[in-house]
Amino acid sequence: MTAAVPNLSIFIIARNEADRIGRTIDAVRGLSDDIVVIDSLSTDGTQKVAQAHGAHVVEHAFEGYGRQKRFGETQCRNPWLLNIDADEVIPPDLAAEIAALFAHGEPAKEAYRIRIAEIFPGEGAPHPFTYALTPVRLWRRDKGTYSESPVHDRVDLVAGTSIGKLKGTIHHFSVRSLGAQIAKLNAYTDDQVTDLEARGLSISPARMVLEFPLNFIKAYVLRRHALRGAYGFMTAMNFAFYRYLRAAKSIERKRLRERERQK
């Protein structure tokens, strides 16, 4: 068990995560005495599970990923923030690395990128060559804040902020099942299309022919799903369909708006 870091807060946004948020909280409980769960009106008992595992729960209707995480920042009491999602787990080596940063006072850098790698159903750990993202997830709260984007959760840092990178990897259990993944991505495309419209952007119908095959290649080859066997092929197909559906919905909405204007 790592020693709690006195000036570190950890926050998690969640909705209907009762089946996995307990593991997420347990993995960081030794790191901080200020673990906050921002619950988006869950109906499966997520709130009670989070409380039972030692988190402080705040109810807040979902406002989009960026804004929800911004709200989460305001609920934390310490100068350093660590953000994880409800389907992510900090393994012991990464927890120890984070604790070591604070062992002798302030860390050397003001923000840290952390590698995040997916673990698919049936896998015990990330594939050693899996594709991974490295966003800022640990930072001084006076050096940055989450973007207000409803579909992108990105920490916007103050110019000149010093940034380091940790060696450990967050384990991301993003896929409950292929069906659940499709349902999640379908809902996400609605938010993405609304965001595109708000920014005055649209997708050309000319893209539709290549949208699915190119995004399958992106997932299967460039994001290395090919390393994951048959399940990797299936998740690459889901990713390609998701990107196709985003484009199709954007075109459909534009078409319907034009028809309304012609009436």
125 shares its domain with 185: no
166 shares its domain with 213: no
* Residue of higher predicted confidence among 128 and 76: 76
Q: What is the pTM of this model?
A: 0.92
Domain of residue 61 covers 8-172
133 shares its domain with 193: no
Once rounded to an integer, what is the mean pLDDT over residues 31-39? 97
14 shares its domain with 138: yes
Out of 123, 153, 172, pick the residue that ends a domain.
Answer: 172
What does the alpha-carbon distance between residue 202 and residue 214 come to, in Å, rounded to a whole number? 19
Out of 118, 144, 172, pick the residue that ends a domain.
Answer: 172
At 195-230, the pLDDT tens digits run 999 999 889 998 999 999 999 999 999 999 999 999
What does the alpha-carbon distance between residue 94 and residue 152 come to, in Å, rounded to a whole number? 24
At 16-29, the pLDDT tens digits run 999 999 999 999 99
pLDDT at 259 over 90: no
62 shares its domain with 149: yes
Q: Is 26 in contact with 4 (CB distance < 8 Å)? A: no
Q: Is 114 in contact with 89 (CB distance < 8 Å)? A: no
Task: Report the number of distinct structural domains present in the chain.
Answer: 2
What does the alpha-carbon distance between residue 45 and residue 57 come to, in Å, rounded to a whole number? 12
44 shares its domain with 165: yes
From 136, 197, 126, select the one nearest 162 (Cα to Cα). Answer: 136
DSSP character at residue 151:
S
190 shares its domain with 209: yes
79 shares its domain with 22: yes
Out of 135, 153, 172, pick the residue that ends a domain.
Answer: 172
Cα four-point dihedral sign 38, 41, 45, 48: positive
Backbone angles phi, psi at 22, to 5 degrees: -60, -45
